[in-house]
Structure 1
């Protein structure tokens, strides 16, 4: 549930929305896209309020795990889908449409895959294809839901650098992410939410231990070194005895077969000196989060 949301995103900004699962990140994007209507307040795009319908000149890149990869469609066909809203009276792609599609695919380095089935691509290639579909619509605002999820670190870095290039060209970008360190390193503006806006501003200012602990409802640590931030959740200091019933000294329970290890000198399970900390957050999937009581104001001059 979202409430007391007051957020302004101006032309040319690049912002990342961060927060735990269930914080309302995806619900916030739905409000911005116009696919979900707030119960209170308004969403403004270019100074015009959305009336519960898709916002004009706003393109969306969904999470890759929400896409049906078995749908029989090629890369070229996926990219051309981005022209539908601008050419809906004539559903067949024109020569100009195809030229624009290939120009975008060339920029994103997927033109050589144009006739490949979308399911046969790597995760990074799939992300770039759906980004191409969004860009061919020539949007004023680009909205992305977890664009770096499900890919390796190198692919995620390439995606962020690509988004930064688009932003330098004047594209306004709003994205969600779970990767705080990547957001701190690359994104100029951060919005911390957990049901409401906790803080917003440059990551160097808002990514503090106090703010992130309030956002994630757990003890967070922020290390600053040479102008860079390293963010992590502080683990609880407890032994295996705190999380497992009656551990046997010198014995490690396994899934298929048990393995003996030397017993600790004091006859306890001290060999298990720590266990990962649990996140004390709402585990409700974001897709099921409701925007009841949401009040959102966002201005993008056009």
Structure 2
């Protein structure tokens, strides 16, 4: 095992897959000469050259379309969109091309493209640079959507995504790139489907993904230490498709559920998880499921307002205690 930062796990996956397969290439804004805004492609230009590590113009729809077209011919492009906020500009290529071509061609044309992009609320980046777009991509048939919460999965999910014949959207989080964690020295792959039980428990399930997994773990530790509540923590990890069976099994065991997400509540990940619980394990519940989520406002630039708008571990604890009548 080696300790690596989140961005180093992504870089290692890039490097290994490009070394293995000459049809894997990377493209995006500032990924070549500068090595990426978050260093996730650092050094790849010198190693693989400008035909496989390409800086692009600030034109997301254009270079995403080039990547989709290249994937249709057999290449395996890794497209980096500098911020998920800018993915709105590439939605035509992602939604109308990448997601639909395999189906519309009767399975004859595959689109093995990977779209990597950081999102989430960082530190005072303003409303137009603080988007959480997981729920947008979840609503698009034909895409896979995954979101790593740690360096191990940042490595393993990218490896699996590159080798998948489906278009995969990987949503990272801007606050996690310098997070440290252990990654096995040998090559491995994190499945593109399924959740992970991060912390087993018996009294309540805390569902999270991406950065909210860490809020859930912090809340679970506090609840166990101060209130004797044994919380199970689930990293959803794969958002499209969601692991319905895993969700059902956990709630059937604990009989309570809180879903923690950084995004606003309407039409979100929490809504979908809650729908699965209500449809499939309703009679196992001892209390109605609860969502802990961001305020339904554009993220403010002001630091105090920004913090007030998004959830945290303390808000998760309050939701759990309220559910237990404490």
Structure with the higher fraction of residues in helix conformation: 2
Structure with the higher fraction of residues in strand conformation: 2
User: Which structure has the larger Rg?
Assistant: 1
User: Under a length normalisation based on structure 2, what TM-score does the superposition of the two structures give?
Assistant: 0.29
